[in-house]
């Protein structure tokens, strides 16, 4: 079972990297962040939300569906803005401009 999860999450990382987000960042650090996101997702949503809702009296299947919806939103958001973030978005617009047009010079 653990091997199946590892294979599924590795395939998910690869397909998201290539098809969805078309990332060209270094794989090692990016995959490490992805693993942390997956572990937090598992603990918070698969275990936490579904167990918490079931403990509050929500029928188990409904709790799993709600947890699955929360998980989907969380995973997309984490992959979009944490794992596969675009570095150009982190660089100021003036830095991008200087790269394209050369350094900005002040005139006196």
Rounded to the nearest 5 degrees, what angle is found at the Cα of 40, between the Cα atoms of 37 and 42? 105
**CA end-to-end distance (rounded Å), the chain:** 69
Averaged pLDDT for residues 68-82: 94
Given a contact cutoff of 8 angstroms between Cβ atoms, the answer to whether 78 and 37 are in contact is: yes
Averaged pLDDT for residues 70-74: 94
Express each pLDDT in 6-55 by its tens digit: 899 999 999 999 999 999 999 999 999 999 999 999 899 889 999 999 99
> What mean pLDDT value characterizes the chain?
85
Distance CA 24, CA 10 (A): 17
* Position 3 pLDDT exceeds 70: yes
Is residue 78 in a domain? yes
CA dist list (Å): 26 to 17, 31, 49, 105: 11, 9, 33, 34
Is residue 40 in a domain? yes
Express each pLDDT in 19-30 by its tens digit: 999 999 999 999
Model pLDDT, residue 6: 86
- Please state the pTM of the whole predicted model: 0.73
Give how many domains the chain has, as a whole number. 1
Is residue 106 in a domain? no
Structural domain for 90, as ranges: 2-101
Is residue 107 in a domain? no
């Amino acid at each position: 079972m653990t091997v199946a999860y590892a294979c599924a999450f590795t395939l998910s990382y690869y397909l998201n990297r290539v098809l969805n987000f078309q990332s060209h960042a270094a794989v090692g650090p990016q995959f490490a962040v992805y693993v942390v996101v997956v572990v937090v997702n598992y603990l918070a949503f698969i275990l936490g939300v579904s167990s918490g809702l079931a403990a509050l009296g929500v029928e188990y299947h409904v709790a799993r569906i709600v947890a699955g919806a929360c998980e989907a939103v969380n995973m997309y958001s984490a992959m979009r803005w944490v794992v596969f973030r675009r570095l150009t978005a982190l660089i100021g617009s003036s830095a991008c401009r200087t790269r394209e047009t050369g350094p900005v010079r002040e005139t006196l």
